[in-house]
Structure 1
């Protein structure tokens, strides 16, 4: 006899006379996993019953959830099944083997976050493969462990008027009542309670939460469900008049994407979270790198004085997750809030390009400088979360307030721009003053191409394309003191692939602008100029190396050795040092953009 938490014996309810909905034939309606009510990284199979989530890279650390298309309220005893059919291959050497492939099965009210199950709040119940029952963020020992090959049946009783209950069975063996709960208007609001404005907020739905496993759901006998005695298949709720449909997709033209715009610690996330709470009917999906960190559910990640240590280690995963979800979001008609700094005009345009059919709103959060400093200090004190001052200076220097597409001179796609703190005029006045007070190195440059390079050139040396130094002469044999190249260098030079992969940010820049000369607008961004300098340096090195490789090959085949003059070695050393400086500046700029989410990370098959 199974025992529920608290030591009380728990048995399935007594058998009832078979209802016409209990027959073994096809059920009166079809229930399946709901592609409109799941995490963005969750994939529902063609049958509607198979569920799995992305699991490459950082996604291996993420839990991903989905609810069914129909829930129940008013009353009834219903059950559904979940069979774990496979584990997904992942690379998680830093995670215990028993924590890499997990499944949690249960129910949740339709307004509960689909990426959680049995955690914050009291509107969900979950049973996990580690033999834990979860509710309100607390975990209790219950039942037995389960994994690949096992079938878990979840049974909900809303008929018992004193207290409703939920229990589970594993492979046909009843594990006992897991939890009693109040389903009345004082509790979950499922029985003898008014229907909320969004009907799914007044019903509980089958819910699965997965981590690197594949499942097959069972909502009817036709799906393979073997109901627990005394409970009907979940689909029978339609015939009983107790079923409630979950949300469905809107058309893209009816959806909106809100892009937060503001410096770090300005209050963007606070505003976005409030918007989600106050508009449940829109079912906003929040997207951001910090939210991706939360989805990975890494213990202690945001604990005070521990943020920096974990942030550096996990930010690459979080950025990959965000970029993938952003790409998927544009194809899935939902309402979205993009919660990043988004201060770079070019990045805003790029991110919103796939959302052409959506209504696009920029939400600018620009508090007074004193208030911004106060919020940053508070966040640092409470969370140990700081963005490097240099990165904030760069963002400030390049911050352009967004314009709606109907405003003169606008090249941005926004249908609407909202300033939620300072007005546009006051924000612009304060932004101009903040830029004026920036350290000189952070301020954007002005003027033509050559003047835009002045600061970089004076710090690092002559431009590689300026013509200050004459072309290298590899074959001035007999005219100057000669040095024979080591055999190791000859072997490396001849084996080196000249047209190998280049960093993705250089490749993208050259594809968009083959001349690698910044436009007048780009010249205003000193860091973007550094990126162009680095790209020209790299491609220049590749071109010269091809000529050098041809010279080495010819000399080696002719003489069996290779000699160069000392002037060549000196010039090569200077060029290498200068190229290293330019590339370091470019990488620093790219790292800042990736850190703040303004630049997409490279695909896995690209050279970084």
Structure 2
């Protein structure tokens, strides 16, 4: 998502296939008291030339979430979104609510912490049309955490009003824009790092099904305060990058120059690895061909400190054991490659022999269909008279035999 300089406007990025992805953004300030509101105007569709024909081209969800939740609004608990289709989403479930909305509409989002003691009431309005209650949150579920305005879009442009802009549709009685509350009443979200040196990037290194996804999910769950964002094709096409090739690692890490760059290598013992591959195939219906795994084993290159990394951690096998196993992988892979090379060479020879035999058979059939005189002339032209007689006799016999059948 591109956020404009005033931080009140944003739009989807659509180049290079990004038009198939949703993107989310959360406001800087949230609240856990009062009767608060904000408005958003859906401005226009963003051109997306690479969109697939059968794909939903545009979408938006507007609502609230707690800080630390994923940016996919409505996918988790404590994440609430009103969609342009007229659905209300939370906990990855939806119910029909309100009306559909589209380009030019202004949606108002309300959160009421006061009307019902112990509960937070969420509701919405489309232009000047107010809708009924969308969701009731038990205040204890929030653990005093504030709710933040949250927007989730696909191929759209929007403008948000927290109270800085003139309004076309007034708020309900008793509600106020977040920006109109005193700064002491508002709660600041986690501040962004002041420099790259305060940031950390972790690259997972290991073969498919080695356990990289599980490690990073557990790590993120433990260190929630670090606000890790998982950059992986696993979140897009459900396939985790392996990063076993040194050149690929260096290219990717060059984008994070100035960060604290860390590699986590996940290499289980061979029996455990094969068990995990089998388990992944059964549970996730994901299968990586042996030939592809063999190629990766051949080129597996362990990362080192100084090789674009400030730190290298081995999550399972220690460095020496991992190094020995990678060397074993390479040796076995080279043996497999040599066997495949010999088999391919043998197949080419066999195919050549079969091809030659077929050509000879075709040639013989062609010669058999010619008259005897032409056959005799042909052989006399190339061979001695005695050879000509014997081969001529052979062809005469074959022709009579064929005619007899």
Of 65, 78, 87, 1:108 maps to 65
- Aligned equivalent of 1:215: 158
Confirm or deny that 1:177 pairs with 2:121.
Answer: no
Contact 2:45 2:103 (C-alpha < 8 Å) held by counterparts: yes
Q: Which SS does the other structure have where 1:215 is aligned?
A: strand
Confirm or deny that 1:139 pairs with 2:40.
Answer: no
- Aligned equivalent of 1:50: 9
The whole-number CA distance in structure 2 between the counterparts of 1:442 and 1:274 is: 37
The whole-number CA distance in structure 1 between the counterparts of 2:284 and 2:166 is: 48
How far does residue 274 in structure 1 lie from its aligned partner after superposition?
1.1
The whole-number CA distance in structure 2 between the counterparts of 1:223 and 1:393 is: 63
- Aligned equivalent of 2:35: 77
Confirm or deny that 1:168 pairs with 2:124.
Answer: yes
Q: Deviations over 1:451-510 (max 9, x none)?
A: xxx99xx89x9xxxxxxxxxxxxxxxxxxxxxxxxxxxxxxxxxxxxxxxxxxxxxxxxx
How far does residue 439 in structure 1 lie from its aligned partner after superposition?
5.4
The whole-number CA distance in structure 2 between the counterparts of 1:278 and 1:252 is: 22
The whole-number CA distance in structure 1 between the counterparts of 2:185 and 2:325 is: 57
- Aligned equivalent of 1:369: 270
TM-score, normalised to structure 1, is 0.54
Contact 1:397 1:442 (C-alpha < 8 Å) held by counterparts: no
How far does residue 353 in structure 1 lie from its aligned partner after superposition?
1.9
Of 251, 259, 267, 1:350 maps to 251
Of 314, 317, 322, 1:427 maps to 322
Within a 5 Å distance, the mapping from 1:103-502 to structure 2 comes to 103-114=60-71, 116-120=72-76, 122-159=77-114, 160-184=116-140, 187-190=141-144, 202-220=145-163, 222=165, 224=167, 226-238=170-182, 241-250=184-193, 251-293=195-237, 340-405=241-306, 412-438=307-333, 440=335, 442=337
Contact 1:119 1:134 (C-alpha < 8 Å) held by counterparts: yes
Contact 1:76 1:237 (C-alpha < 8 Å) held by counterparts: no
Q: Which SS does the other structure have where 1:425 is aligned?
A: helix
Contact 2:118 2:139 (C-alpha < 8 Å) held by counterparts: no
Indicate the structure (1 or 2) with the bigger Cα radius of gyration: 2
Structure 1, unpaired ranges of 5+: 1-41, 191-201, 295-310, 312-338, 406-411, 444-453, 462-608
The whole-number CA distance in structure 2 between the counterparts of 1:47 and 1:221 is: 11
The total of aligned residue pairs comes to 341
Structure 2, unpaired ranges of 5+: 349-405
How far does residue 95 in structure 1 lie from its aligned partner after superposition?
2.6
How far does residue 93 in structure 1 lie from its aligned partner after superposition?
4.5
The whole-number CA distance in structure 1 between the counterparts of 2:57 and 2:257 is: 38
Root-mean-square deviation over aligned CA pairs: 2.3
Contact 2:295 2:333 (C-alpha < 8 Å) held by counterparts: no
